[in-house]
Amino acid sequence: MFRISGFIEGTSLILLLFIAMPLKYLAGLPEVVTVVGSIHGAFFCIYIVVIAYVTFRIRWSWKWIFSSVLVAFIPFGNYLLDIRLQKSSLS
């Protein structure tokens, strides 16, 4: 559940930054940012709730909580966190 919500949230951020924003400023279509931004905002809220759920469910350390919130603001950050989580669970 966390990995899926992270992937969706990360993808919505990439769509917002690299497709919607250029369409707004280069093509004069501000409504694209309104729509994609609203969708991204909803996915971000869901992602934060999932972080809280995972934290209480598996007793995540502060390191993972902080990292999970931080990567939500970095393009491709959720994908990198997913790779780190997979490596840490295999060790």
**d(Cα 79, Cα 39) in Å, to the nearest integer?**
19
pTM score, two decimals? Answer: 0.88
Tokens 């969706």, located at residue: 8
**d(Cα 25, Cα 1) in Å, to the nearest integer?**
35
pLDDT tens string 7-38: 999 999 999 999 999 999 999 999 999 999 99
Q: Quick one: three-class SS letters along 55-86?
A: HHHHCCCHHHHHHHHHHCCCCCHHHHHHHHHH
By CB neighbour count within 10 A (0-12 exposed, 13-18 middle, 19+ buried), where does 87 fall? Answer: exposed
